[in-house]
Structure 1
Amino acid sequence: MMKDVQTKAPGKLYIAGEYAVTEPGYPAVLVALDRFIHVQVSPSKREYGTISSPALSEEALKWTRENGQVSLTEEVESADILLSALHTTEQFLLEKGQTLSYYDILIESELTSKSGEKYGLGSSGAVTVAVIEALLASLSYPVSDILLYKLAALAHMKLNSKGSFGDLAAAAYTGWIAYTSFDKEWVQSKQQTHSVSDMVQLDWPLLSIEKLTPPTSLTLLIGWTGSPASTEKLVGSAHAHKKKEPYTAFLTESKACVERLIEAFRTQDKDSLFEEVRRNRKLLQQLSQENHLMIETPLLKTLCEIAEAYHAAAKTSGAGGGDCGIALIDSLQYKETIEGEWKKHAIVPLPFKIYQK
């Protein structure tokens, strides 16, 4: 029997390792934030289900099952990820002997500003994880972090996403994490011969998700420069230079830098932690110069320079290009000063905290 459930999954920010993490085996450090996608699933009393999501449509969307798959009664452009999450999870549940009835889904987001602009916190990843968790929980199926992550990754694989799926790992595991992407080609080839329930049981080559504990005095400041960036576009542009020597050098150096950063978390070595965050910024600056990418916009550069003037370690976060910049500080004495200076330059300090479920 299906039951009413509510779940939530957090948005994420990259601390280090962006761009390189889209290659299998290259690490990044991410953090989950206390801004969520909320999902409610409840059994439907009708011969169809509904999906209510302001991001997709003003009206509730109807769905039925065609050839055993969730299918909307009208086409909606941006519903691909949601449908893929439902298809993947339903397939898994059927393989596990569960009976599926119709249900209603309500999706609400806190990952945009009041005027509806995205902060760049990875809403598609959070939606995927929250929907999968809600569906599993509504049928009382035991949920683990790794199951959530793998089902979400399989759902995104169906859409040929170029991302690293780090947002899925952050949404599923929460807190601070070290993340390394898996070998997508291996997973794709296994999918030809394995069921969804088999796929989640396999060890995926190169995949690594490790929870990290930050030094207690470490505080993360986030500044939003107000112009959302297209991750797919920026990462695509960087990938166009994949075969060139500078890009290979960038990957090698990013890997070494982030591995030292992860070690600094393990040993609670704040000096090294700050040093590697600053080094990662330099590597991203080199990458953008060599490939004519706009990762660190003038406003993001200002954000970093202000923070650095008050002993913070600062850099762009994620694809760059205008979303968020971050600053790590070791004591709260400069927090208000940094955020005050940011505001003078039209940089919005975001009051988000690290979310650990």
Structure 2
Amino acid sequence: MLICEAQAPGKLYLAGEYAVVNPGNPSLLMAVNRYVEARVSSSERWLVTSDQFSGSQVVVGGYVPDNLSFASAALEIARNYASKVSEREVCGHVHIDSHLQSDDGTKLGLGSSAAVCVAVVRAVLAAYGVQASPVTVFKLAATAHFLVQGNGSLGDVAASSMGGLVYYRSPDREWLRSFVDAHTAPAQGRASINTRTTPAVQHALDVDAGASGLHRSSDSKLAGSPDQFASATADFDYENSLYGTLSRLDTVALVEQAWPDLVIEQVSEAANLEIEVGWTGKPASTKALVKKAAKPVEPAKYQAFLHASARSVDALRALVSAPTGAAVRAPAGELASVVAELRAQLNELSALRDVPVETDELRRGIEIALAHGFAAKSSGAGGGDCLIALRVNPAALATDHNVTAYSHSLREAWLEAGITPLALSLSPAHTTAASSSDFSAEGEVYDA
């Protein structure tokens, strides 16, 4: 029986995507109206499955394949926190369904791993009847995401947790790592579960991949003979893994503690701001690009980049935000100038750190947008994925969100150039996480 379900939006960076990796540096993001959904159903034990990975399953305490690592980490930290603040006893099957990919399953660069963490945290808290602020959801989901990925600003987690338009300064992740180390109870030894008998392992042992003689594994690192896979999973030490760490972490202290340098603010979007998104069709590895950009080259020039980025991010925030129901009154040329500065800064960083931010496809899409009266730049780590185009429509009213002729023309031109327009808009802002009391016995969807 369905206990509850929750969703979390994907994200796009408007500005500050590389500078925000440095603690305290600002960025501006938008949560978009495509989501990851997490459903919790009654079960005799906690387990995780996903529509994307039909051959994979995680039983809590057992082996975790790479493709369910973010979801499993989010489940552990949410279960840990909820059990400390709720008297309810819960055991459930968490099933994940993501809509942040293209029709053929290719990633769009919308922060799917972050949205998975947020959706799972929300759903598990709801199953326990725990209502939590967006910042509490962020702290839990961000910790899980950071421990799995090992780098990144966590801005995508912030956007997914908050919804809407978000101004974000990243926390000190070295502090976070130290906090986790200092507030985690020691392991008591190996987990007692026999991972050889879990359905995921049995599936991997039973499915023949074909003429090659190899057997399919849900984890590409373990693809090989059944004996190799069984040996690797049997050797998995849950208690001393990051999942065991998250199950023993003092999550109440984690949530109550002020995080150094962290700033998350909801921003009211101006009613006459048009945002168009184009997808190159070529996915990029954010983790690899961020790691490459972090290499220490010419510190003085890098500091100049950080200062320039901060000024431009704050300027863009002032231009695209307004009190609810108001409209942007700044000249369109001012918006174009600020976005051009942000684009130039990313290209300077690209040359400084040898990071391929603006690919030929992104450059072509940006030039087309400029020719159609939009300000434009790459979004996120670059190297593929998406670009954004912004325009102030002075004729738009607060209640008029119809797509203008400019947008129609831009989309057609993008299509002709091999850029796919994505029908994305701002996701609504969140106030609290779902509670199981918000669901009927039939599993009514909570719309945050």
What TM-score results when the alignment is normalised by the length of structure 2? Answer: 0.74
Q: Deviations over 1:36-70 (max 9, x none)?
A: 001100121x3x34422133x3246251xxxxxx2
Q: Residue 187 of structure 1 aligns to which amino acid in structure 2?
A: L
Name the SS of the counterpart of 2:106 in structure 1: coil
Q: Deviations over 1:89-134 (max 9, x none)?
A: 1221232254544211111111001111000000000000000000
Cα distance in 1 for partners of 2:316, 2:329 equals 9
Q: Secondary structure at the match of 2:6?
A: strand
**In structure 2, C-alpha distance between the alignment counterparts of 1:248 and 1:280, rounded to whole Å:** 15
Taking only aligned residues, the RMSD between alpha carbons, in angstroms, comes to 1.9
Residue from 61, 64, 73 that aligns with 1:71? 61
Deviations 1:213-263 (A, max 9, x none): 222111110000000000011111110135533222211111111122223
2:118 is the alignment partner of 1:129:
yes
Distance 2:372 2:20 in 1: 29
What displacement does 1:77 show?
Answer: 2.2
- Provide the C-alpha distance between the structure 2 equivalents of 1:160 and 1:322, rounded to a whole number of angstroms: 20
1:243–1:86: structure 2 CA closer, same or farther, 3 Å change rule? farther
Higher strand share: 1
Classify the secondary structure of the residue corresponding to 1:71.
Answer: coil
Structure 2 counterpart of 1:180, from 169, 173, 182: 169
**Separation of aligned partners in 2, 1:230 and 1:203:** 31
1:151 maps onto 2:140 in alignment: yes
Q: Which residue number in structure 1 is paired with residue 274 of structure 2?
A: 219
Match of 1:200 in 2: 255
Alpha carbons of 1:177 and 1:62: their partners in 2 closer, same or farther (altered >3 Å)? closer
1:54 aligns with 2:51: yes
CA distance in 1, matches of 2:259, 2:58: 36
Q: What's the secondary structure of 1:36's corresponding residue?
A: strand
Separation in 2 of the partners of 1:330 and 1:134?
A: 37
Q: CA contact under 8 A between 1:242 and 1:248: conserved in structure 2? A: no
CA–CA distance in structure 1, aligned partners of residues 298 and 124 of structure 2: 42
Closer, same or farther in 2 for the Cα pair 1:339/1:189, shift >3 Å? same
> Within 1, Cα distance between the matches of 2:56 and 2:142?
27
In 1, Cα distance between equivalents of 2:97 and 2:330: 37
Matched, 1:347 2:336: no
Q: Are the aligned partners of 1:215 and 1:270 in contact in 2 as well (CA < 8 Å)?
A: no
Q: Which consecutive segments of 4 or more residues in structure 1 shift more than 6 A?
A: none
Alignment of 1:162 with 2:151, yes or no, is yes
> Partners of 2:371 and 2:408 in 1: how far apart?
13
Partner of 1:244: 299
Letter in 2 for 1:251: L
C-alpha contact (below 8 Å) 1:137/1:143 kept by paired residues: no
Q: 5+ residue gaps in structure 2?
A: 184-249, 323-327, 394-403, 430-448
TM-score by length of 1: 0.91
Measured at CA, do residues 92 and 327 of structure 1 come closer, stay the same or move farther in structure 2, by a change above 3 Å? same
Are 1:316 and 2:371 counterparts?
A: no
Letter in 2 for 1:18: E
Larger-Rg structure? 2
Alpha carbons 1:222, 1:350 under 8 Å: kept: yes
Match of 1:9 in 2: 8
